[in-house]
Structure 1
Amino acid sequence: MTIPIDVVFPCLNEAEALPVLLAALPPGYRAIVVDNGSTDGSADVALLGGAVVVSEPRRGYGAAVHAGLTAATSDLVIVCDADGTIDPAEFDALVAPVRAGTADLAVGRRRPTSRQAWPVPARVANVVLAWMLRSRTGLPLRDLGPVRATRRAALLELEVRDKRSGYPVELVLRAHRAGWRLSHVDMAYRPRIGRSKVTGSLRGYLTAVRDTRRRLAEAAR
Structure 2
Amino acid sequence: MLSADVVLPCLDEAEALPWVLARIPTGWRAIVVDNGSTDGSAEIARGLGAHVVHEPRRGFGAACHAGLSAAQAEYVCFCDCDASLDPGLLTGFVRDIAAGNADLVLGRRRPQTRGVWPAHARAGNAVLSRMLRRRTGLRLHDLGPLRAARRADLLALDLTDRRSGYPLQMVVRAVDAGLRVAEVDVPYLPRSGKSKVTGTWRGTWQAVRDMSAVLAEQPRPRPLVDGGAR
1:33 aligns with 2:32: yes
Percent identity between matched residues is 58
TM-score, length-scaled by structure 1? 0.93
Structure 1 residue aligned with 2:222: none
Rounded to whole Å, the distance in 2 between the matches of 1:146 and 1:53 is: 19
Distance (Å, rounded) in 1 between the aligned partners of 2:134 and 2:205:
23
Correspondences of 1:155-194 after superposition (within 5 Å):
155-194=154-193
Return structure 1 stretches of 4+ with deviation > 6 angstroms. none
The amino acid of 2:173's aligned partner reads R
Q: Report the count of equivalent residues.
A: 220
Task: Report if aligned partners of 1:173, 1:219 keep a CA contact under 8 Å in 2.
Answer: no
2:127: which partner in 1? 128
1:80-122: per-residue Cα shift (whole Å, max 9, x none)?
1111111122121222221111111000011111122211221
Residues 22-171 of structure 1 aligned to structure 2 (within 5 Å): 22-171=21-170
Check the 8 A contact 2:7/2:68 in 1, yes or no. Answer: yes
* 5+ long unaligned stretches in structure 2: 220-230
8 Å Cα contact 1:36-1:59 kept in structure 2: yes
Aligned partners of 2:31, 2:3: CA distance in 1, in Å? 12
Structure 2 partner of 1:214:
213
Structure 1 residue aligned with 2:228: none
CA 1:35–1:170: 2 relative to 1, 3 Å: same
What per-residue deviation string (whole Å, max 9, x for no partner) do you get for residues 42-87 of structure 1? Answer: 1011111110000010111111111111111100110111111111
CA-based RMSD: 1.8
CA contact (8 A) 1:3 1:74 kept: no
Q: State the Cα distance separating 1:199 from its structure 2 match.
A: 2.6
Alpha-carbon distance in 1 for matches of 2:176, 2:17: 35
CA contact (8 A) 1:7 1:29 kept: yes
In structure 1, distance between residues paired with 2:200 and 2:119: 16
